[in-house]
Amino acid sequence: GLMMQKTESTENYLERIYMLREEKGNVRSIDIAHALNFSKPSVSNAVKKLAEKGYITVDGDHNLFLTSKGEGIATRIYKRHCDLANLFMALGVSEETAYADACMIEHDISEETYQCLLAHYNSHFKK
pLDDT, tens digit, 9 for 90 and up, residues 81-104: 999 999 999 999 999 999 999 988
Which residues of the chain fall below pLDDT 70? 1-8, 127
What per-residue confidence (pLDDT) applies to 2? 43
**What distance in Å separates the CA atoms of residue 30 and residue 43, rounded to the nearest whole number?**
8
66: left (phi over 0), alpha (psi -120 to 50) or beta: beta
What pLDDT score does 127 carry? 62
DSSP structure string for 61-118: T-BEEE-HHHHHHHHHHHHHHHHHHHHHHHTT--HHHHHHHHHHHTTTS-HHHHHHHH
What pLDDT shows up at residue 78?
Answer: 92
pLDDT score for 8? 61
Q: Which residues contact 46 (CB under 8 A, 6 or more apart)?
A: 9, 13, 38
Whole-number average pLDDT of the chain = 89
What pLDDT score does 106 carry?
83
b/e code 99-120 from CB counts within 10 Å (16+ = b):
beebeebbbeeeeeebeebbee
